[in-house]
Amino acid sequence: MMKGYAMLSTGKTGWIQKEKPVCGPKDAIVRPLAVSPCTSDVHTVWEGALGDRHNMILGHEGCGVVVEVGAAVKDFKPGDRIMVAAITPDWDSIEAQEGYAMHSGGMLAGWKFSNFKDGVFGEYFHVNDADGNLAHLPDNVTVEEACMLSDMVPTGFHGAELADIQFGDTVLVVGIGPVGLMSVAAANMRGASRIIAVGTRQVCIDAAKGYGATDFISYKDGPLDEQVLKLTNGKGVDKAIVAGGGVETFEPVINALKPGGKIGNVNYLGGGDYINIPRVGWGVGMGHKQINGGLMPGGRARIERLARLIQYGKLDVNPLLTHKFEGFDHIEEALFLMKDKPRDLIKPVVVIER
Ligand code: NDP
Ligand code: ZN
């Protein structure tokens, strides 16, 4: 048996005992070295965003050490220190062959941890398709940094990919929690000129400046479209990345886009049934304004690439790590921090072992 921190049912969490996961031929069983709770865990438990789940161990951000591999696994063995993305697709699926591995097995079904199976907040966790989804943890990447490579970096960077950021673009980033901050960093690396960031927590504003944001507005100071149009002399922005807010955020963002503009959405819309597209703001149907929303791609190649940005000093994720805990038993405290979002929080991390 093993211990894990679980969603007991919608709105309820607690420690449970569960059978240790079983290793299939292509799988690995991993003991976590560090884990981090995510806003998505909060949507899952307290907003019922995935529907009801019973006694499901939470967590999808972590790194660890391999304790067991299946007979078909080639590149990993017990004792290896590994990184793993929050999204662990089946790389031999049709969806993966068509370029959408994150939807392998159905829409969003590449997201397995704390969704279709137990997550990483257990004494052990299961990784499917180990050769496709694990990556060796480089010596010069810390366990805390590796946790940020599970989700915050690949998701935030996917926002910049989905928005198709080009040199010189003026970019609006809605939401500068840890995901949006990584979108700011990615937009900056892709050559954005002006980056207008939306958020109110001072700690996030300071971090966003460090990652390349040039202007700041608050969603509490009036409609976003009005504020963005004022800042840009009525022209609007080339691209927008949405990493915060709710279904109501799209209307002002579409209005704030130039014709031909693109929105990259990585925000998990935890509530509400519909998104309103403003008819006039969308060019009465002919404004060439695109919305690309996507779950981040997981997988080994991507996590290795993104880790290289840390290894070679191009990206520092440490400004995200505002709250650090030592010891497995602190997972509960860290998750509740994520739920309550004190104003000095960006991201908590729990180090279990170095
Ligand atoms: P946070 O809650 O830390 O940050 C949210 C940001 O949005 C904050 O800057 C907040 O501002 C801002 N915000 C809140 N309300 C509004 C509003 N009405 N209008 C505009 N901005 C607003 O979240 P995270 O960075 O942790 O995560 C962001 C989203 O990404 C979450 O929904 C999460 O579930 C999702 N996600 C998606 C993944 C994917 O694969 N697509 C993976 C991981 C996460 P303030 O400063 O006031 O708090
Ligand atoms: Zn996450």
Helix (H) or strand (E) holding 158: helix 152-162
Q: How far is the CA of 180 from the centre of ligand 1 (A)?
A: 7
The residue nearest atom 14 of ligand 1, judged by CA position, is: 245
Q: For a pocket test of ligand 1, which of 36, 40, 158, 228 has the largest count of ligand atoms closer than 8 A to its C-beta?
A: 40
Entry pTM: 0.97
Please give the mean pLDDT across all residues of the chain: 97
The architecture of the domain spanning 155-293 is 3-Layer(aba) Sandwich (3.40)
Reported as a single tens digit per residue, the pLDDT across 151-161 is 999 999 999 99
β-pairing, 290-293 with 257-265?
A: parallel
Reported as a single tens digit per residue, the pLDDT across 88-130 is 999 999 999 999 999 999 999 999 999 999 999 999 999 999 9
Q: What pLDDT sits at residue 271?
A: 82
The architecture of the domain spanning 2-151+296-351 is Alpha-Beta Complex (3.90)
Mean pLDDT of 322-331: 98
Give start-end residues of each CATH 3.40.50.720 domain in the chain.
Answer: 155-293
The residue nearest atom 47 of ligand 1, judged by CA position, is: 200
Say what percent of the chain tops pLDDT 90: 97
Identity of the amino acid at 290 = Q
Reported as a single tens digit per residue, the pLDDT across 253-274 is 999 999 999 999 999 988 889 9
* Ligand 1, residues at Cβ distance < 6 Å: 38-40, 43, 151, 155, 174-180, 198-201, 204, 219, 243-245, 249, 266-268, 295-296
Q: Which atom of ligand 1 is nearest to the CA of 345?
A: 3
The residue nearest atom 23 of ligand 1, judged by CA position, is: 177
Helix, strand, coil percentages (3-state) for the chain, rounded to 5, are: 30, 25, 45
Reported as a single tens digit per residue, the pLDDT across 47-69 is 888 888 999 999 999 999 999 99
Give start-end residues of each CATH 3.90.180.10 domain in the chain.
Answer: 2-151+296-351
Nearby residues for ligand 2 (ion, Cβ within 5 Å): 38, 40, 151
Q: Is the pLDDT of residue 183 over 90?
A: yes
Q: How far is the CA of 280 from the centre of ligand 1 (A)?
A: 27
Cβ atoms of 125 and 113 closer than 8 Å:
yes
